[in-house]
């Protein structure tokens, strides 16, 4: 049974929406719902605008334990515990020959509360998060696509102040809504970064993904039943995720460089998916009796960053700020964390009557430091020479650091000894976005 009792969420209707708010949050995914809820908890008038009508399909189903802190602040823990989302205690890696590492159990870290997390159906999880925002006093509107952010002067927009948004309702009518701050949480759409030309990509992470769901796949037993599996294909040109979901279903997807997976291939995506699956001995036996539930879907070029986290009257959260790679299931954690940082920062900025870009972007150095640990471990995974087993055989004392990163416990932590030792074994590229800034420094500077 789905944790959602009705098939529509508790969104408002267009006639219930006012023309002016303290904050307009664009995008009702995890980042937007988090920022909106925290701002409403601080007594602010918030409008949350979502283009789609929930529940809707979304990829990105595996959570990591560090989400628990933010979910607690949002009042979501009880709802998660009452849901039918499978519990996840570990992640396990498989080599191209099908050989598995020992599972990395989250309980290997110090904190009991971070020993477990969930695998979620995003259609349900995102609806729960959106409805939770509404329960906290947010005006939430679905079927409302923001067409552009309004600035107080036309030239150049990067230096102008955001004043609100133009939104198109599902009946085609358009409205302008004013606000003191616009939070862009539009996910991969990255509305403001695109509008202002701030989007930048990492040439090392030009990946594509092909994915679907199955029913009846073989799972491990007991505590390992809800584990995420990361399985390499024979020649390490691609890797698969296997994520157990409710009702005996599982999310399965393949990730590889665009040049390899899409551009250099003949045939439709289903054929490519099947060909890669045949190269993955760790996964094929699990799917041999399983039923594929819908035609594969494709996503390209999903890794990117923004050059600026904020400007006067606007700020970015979640994938709209940047997205790394699906490897360690960090996307929803970073959406929740950045939503939390942005919610707190915007609330403080409004209290101080200072919504300058410097103030609104002051959270960015902390977020970037945390993202840097994930990014460097992603670079390691894609190195042909790297394997967790080999690294931990040489440096067993770093096991806890690795588990901390897999848990998502990366904020305000020092991983330099880990990456220093890693760099002795593989060619670990420099982190291109790791430019620490003082919180007092104008965060409109390049990130
Ligand atoms: C292949 C792949 C696999 C992944 N697997 C995982 C995983 O296992 N675990 C994990 O944690 N993460 C995973 N991710 C990442 C994860 O899906 C995202 O990081 C996460 O959804 C980001 O949340 P968000 O709120 O920033 O954006 P989204 O969840 O994308 O939400 C943004 C919302 O904004 C809305 N929107 C967009 N434009 C407008 C507009 N103009 N007006 C109004 N609304 C708008 C969209 O409809 C959407 O609902 C994966 C990503 C990829 C590409």
349 touches ligand 1 (CB under 6 Å): no
Q: Which of 287, 354, 332 is nearest to 128 (CA)?
A: 332
Instruction: Work out which ligand 1 atom sits closest to the CA atom of 334.
Output: 19
Per-residue pLDDT tens, the chain, 447 aa: give them: 344 444 456 678 888 899 999 999 999 999 999 999 999 999 999 999 999 999 999 999 999 999 999 999 999 999 999 999 999 999 999 999 999 888 999 998 767 778 999 999 999 999 999 999 999 999 999 999 999 999 988 666 667 899 999 999 999 999 999 999 999 999 999 999 998 999 998 888 999 999 999 999 999 999 999 999 999 999 899 999 999 999 999 999 999 999 999 988 878 999 999 999 999 999 999 999 999 999 999 999 889 999 999 999 999 999 999 999 999 999 999 999 999 999 999 999 999 999 999 999 999 999 999 999 999 999 999 988 888 888 999 999 999 999 999 999 999 899 999 999 999 998 887 766 654 433 333 334 344
**Which pLDDT score, from 0 to 100, does residue 1 have?**
37
Count of helices and strands (H, E) across the chain: 14, 21
What's the gap in Å between 187 CA and the centre of ligand 1? 5
310 touches ligand 1 (CB under 6 Å): no
Chain centre distance of CA 368:
14
What's the gap in Å between 393 CA and the centre of ligand 1? 36
**Which pLDDT score, from 0 to 100, does residue 442 have?**
38
Pocket test for ligand 1, best of 48, 52, 55, 60 (most atoms within 8 A of CB): 60
The 10 Å Cβ neighbour count of residue 120 is 28
Domain boundaries, the chain: 1-85+120-202+302-447, 88-116+207-300
50 touches ligand 1 (CB under 6 Å): yes
According to DSSP, residue 333 is labeled H
The CA-atom distances, in angstroms, between 321 and each of 50, 302, 313, 348, 425 are: 17, 12, 16, 20, 32
Global pTM value: 0.94
302 touches ligand 1 (CB under 6 Å): yes
The two tokens of residue 270 are 């289903």
331-351 vs 364-382: helix axis angle to the nearest 10? 170
Architecture of the domain spanning 88-116+207-300: 2-Layer Sandwich (3.30)
Bridge partners for 92 per DSSP: 229
**Which pLDDT score, from 0 to 100, does residue 158 have?**
65
119 touches ligand 1 (CB under 6 Å): no
CA–CA separation, 45 and 329 (whole Å): 32
Kindly report the protein residue whose alpha carbon is nearest to atom 15 of ligand 1. Answer: 331
**Which pLDDT score, from 0 to 100, does residue 265 have?**
86
**Which pLDDT score, from 0 to 100, does residue 371 have?**
93
Pocket test for ligand 1, best of 59, 244, 245 (most atoms within 8 A of CB): 59
Does CATH place domain 1-85+120-202+302-447 in 3.50.50.60? yes
Q: Which of 50, 74, 71 is nearest to 140 (CA)?
A: 50
129 touches ligand 1 (CB under 6 Å): no
**Which pLDDT score, from 0 to 100, does residue 110 have?**
65
């Amino acid at each position: 049974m789905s944790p959602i009792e009705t098939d529509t969420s508790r969104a408002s209707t267009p006639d219930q929406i006012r023309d002016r708010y303290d904050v307009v949050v664009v995008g009702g995914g995890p980042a937007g719902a988090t920022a909106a809820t925290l701002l409403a908890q601080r007594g602010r008038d918030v409008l949350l605008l979502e283009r789609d009508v929930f529940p809707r399909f979304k990829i990105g189903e595996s959570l990591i334990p560090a989400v628990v802190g933010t979910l607690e602040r949002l009042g979501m823990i009880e709802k998660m515990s009452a849901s039918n989302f499978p519990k996840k205690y570990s992640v396990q890696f498989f080599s191209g020959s099908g050989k598995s590492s020992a599972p990395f159990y989250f309980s290997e870290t110090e904190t009991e509360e971070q020993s477990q997390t969930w695998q979620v159906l995003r259609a349900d999880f995102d609806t729960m998060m959106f409805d939770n925002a509404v329960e906290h006093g947010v005006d939430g509107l679905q079927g409302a696509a923001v067409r552009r952010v309004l600035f107080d002067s036309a030239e150049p927009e990067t230096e102008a102040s955001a004043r609100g948004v133009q939104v198109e309702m599902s009946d085609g009518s358009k409205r302008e809504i004013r606000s003191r701050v616009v939070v862009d949480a539009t996910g991969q759409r990255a509305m403001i970064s695109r509008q202002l030309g701030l989007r930048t990509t990492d040439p090392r992470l030009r990946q594509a993904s092909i994915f679907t769901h199955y029913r009846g796949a073989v799972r491990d037993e007991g505590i390992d039943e809800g584990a995420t599996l990361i399985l390499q294909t024979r020649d390490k040109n691609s890797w698969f995720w296997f994520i157990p979901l409710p009702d005996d279903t599982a999310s399965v997807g393949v990730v590889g460089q665009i040049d390899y997976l899409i551009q250099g291939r003949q045939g439709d995506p289903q054929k490519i998916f099947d060909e890669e699956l045949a190269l993955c001995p760790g996964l094929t036996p699990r799917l041999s009796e399983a039923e594929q539930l819908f035609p594969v879907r494709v996503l390209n070029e999903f890794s990117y960053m923004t050059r600026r986290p904020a400007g006067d009257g606007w700020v970015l959260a979640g994938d709209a700020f940047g997205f790394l790679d699906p490897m360690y299931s960090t996307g929803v954690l970073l959406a929740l964390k950045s939503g939390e940082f942005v919610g707190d920062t915007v609330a403080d900025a409004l209290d101080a009557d200072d919504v300058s870009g410097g103030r609104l972007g002051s959270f960015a150095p902390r977020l970037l430091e945390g993202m840097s640990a994930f990014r460097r471990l992603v670079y390691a995974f894609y190195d042909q020479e790297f394997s967790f087993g080999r690294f931990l055989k040489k440096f067993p004392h770093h096991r806890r650091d690795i588990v901390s990163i897999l848990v998502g416990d990366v904020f305000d932590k020092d991983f330099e000894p880990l990456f220093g030792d890693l760099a002795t074994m593989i060619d670990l590229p420099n982190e291109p976005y790791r430019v620490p800034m003082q919180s007092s420094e104008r965060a409109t500077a390049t990130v």
